[in-house]
Structure 1
Amino acid sequence: MIGAIVAGVNENSIAFEMGIQEGDKIVSINHKPLLDLIQFQFEWGEEEVLLEIEKATGEKVLFEIEKEYDEQLGVIFNQAVFDGIKLCRNKCLFCFVDQMPGGMRSSLYV
């Protein structure tokens, strides 16, 4: 799945004013599909943003937004990776994921 599902919207935010609701999906910013939260923050940093939303009903909406570069959209996501976790089979010696010792808390493992 590409795109970020909105888990919540802050009141009096840009998203609130545009009518974005929980369950809507942010598909792209400036025609770039969103894969993770880092990319979302990077793309959102522009002062002119073209935001593509897929409403929970399936309707697609395109918003042209002019904002300050540090002004936030005001949405909450329930995950940081929008297109699924990628696993690697390389077994690199420097990999902190592959080299995790056993017996640690479960949230540290993929």
Structure 2
Amino acid sequence: MSRGLGGNIVGTARPDSPAERAGIRPGDMLLTVNKKRIHDSIDLVFYTDSLDLNISVKRKDRIIRTTVIRDEGEDLGIELRPFRIKTCRNRCIFCFVSQLPKGLRRSLYIKDEDFRMSFLYGSYITLSNITPAEKKRIIEQRLSPLYISVHSTDREIRNTLLGNNNAADIMKELKWLAKNRIRIHVQIVLCPGYNDGDKLMSTINDLHKFYPYVSSIAVVPV
């Protein structure tokens, strides 16, 4: 998630707000706040808790540095454009998006695999393409709870369901999340002949080991 993908572009700057008075304008690329890089609206909220903010923005080919001074409880006064959603690379045998009919609104066809969407909106992700930098950010910013599509704790079965032989070991990922006290809501899409019966019970027993950080398990039959 590099800069310039839309998530750090100022969409609006409220008139006479602290940001507007400091010279920040719609269309500016928000680079840093108090030397912390800004990628999206989550970063903006996380790094703007101070009253005095040293901000750098890019406007066309210029880097502009300014200081925003706020009163206690005063909003910064800007909104960022939506970030570009990280998409799914799996080829799940049950993929709901792939089975949608044509002609629906475009947003329904987005196969998101973005931890930010999981945190903000409860979208389920598989953690199959999460990077070390993203994992570090989840812990630093306490992005909890997350919603995880597990399907099976047996790696071979899960990789078959995901259509991805290179998917991460979900037990290791869940252990890492629980160790760092990130709450998890789990989804199991139940596919007859793949992850049902005794295999389902084994998955549930494995997930129970991570209680209370695995806070819920939703089983979705197909």
TM-score, normalization: structure 2? 0.39
Partner of 1:95: none
Stretches of 4+ aligned residues off by more than 6 angstroms? none
| SS of aligned partner of 2:53 | strand
Partner of 1:10: 14
Q: Which runs of 5+ in 2 are unaligned?
A: 111-222
Q: Is it true that 1:29 corresponds to 2:33 in the alignment?
A: yes
CA distance in 1, matches of 2:38, 2:91: 28
CA distance in 2, matches of 1:22, 1:7: 5
Q: CA deviation at 1:105?
A: 4.3
| Structure with more strand by fraction | 1
| SS of aligned partner of 1:76 | strand
CA distance in 2, matches of 1:71, 1:22: 20
Mapping of residues 58-69 of structure 1, within 5 Å: 58-68=61-71
CA distance in 2, matches of 1:89, 1:9: 36
Q: CA deviation at 1:19?
A: 1.9
Mapping of residues 71-82 of structure 1, within 5 Å: 71-77=74-80, 79-81=81-83
Give the RMSD, CA atoms, in angstroms. 2.7
Match 1:102 to one of 79, 84, 100: 100
AA matched with 2:47 = E
AA matched with 1:2 = R
| SS of aligned partner of 1:73 | coil
Task: Tell whether the 8 Å contact from 1:46 to 1:69 is kept in structure 2 after alignment.
Answer: no
Bigger RCO of structures 1 and 2 (CA < 8 A, at least 6 apart): 1
How many residue pairs were aligned? Answer: 102
CA distance in 2, matches of 1:72, 1:12: 11
| Identity across matched positions, percent | 27
Q: Which runs of 5+ in 1 are unaligned?
A: 93-97
Question: Rg bigger for which structure?
Answer: 2
